[in-house]
C-alpha cells in the first residue's frame, strides 16, 4: 500500500522518500520508477540493534 501512495505522489512530480531495512527492495522500487515523473529517493536503515549508521542512496 505504501509504495502505491508513494507512486501517486511521485506521479504528481513530488520527490518521495522511501525508507526500509532491505536495500534490494528499495533498489527495485527506485529502479522501477526512474523513467517516470518525479522521483523516489530511498533510504536504508539498519536494525535498531546495529551500531552502523544508515546509508542514503538514490
Please say if the pLDDT value at position 51 is more than 60.
Answer: no
Buried b (16+ CB within 10 A) or exposed e, 12-50: eeeebebeeeeeeebeebbeebeeeebebbbebeeeeee
pTM: 0.54
- pLDDT value of residue 48: 58
Asked if the model's pLDDT at residue 53 lies above 70, the reply is no
Q: What is the pLDDT of residues 6-46, one digit of tens each?
A: 888 888 888 888 788 888 888 887 788 776 776 777 767 76
pLDDT band at 49 (very low <50, low <70, confident <90, very high): low
Q: Which structural domain, as residue segments, surrounds residue 42?
A: 2-57
Number of structural domains, the chain? 1
Predicted confidence at residue 28, as pLDDT, reads: 84
Amino acid at each position: 500500500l505504501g509504495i502505491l501512495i508513494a507512486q501517486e505522489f511521485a506521479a504528481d512530480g513530488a520527490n518521495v522518500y522511501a525508507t526500509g531495512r532491505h536495500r534490494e527492495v528499495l533498489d527495485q522500487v527506485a529502479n522501477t520508477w526512474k523513467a517516470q515523473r518525479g522521483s523516489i529517493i530511498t533510504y536504508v536503515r539498519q536494525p535498531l540493534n546495529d551500531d552502523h549508521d544508515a546509508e542514503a542512496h538514490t
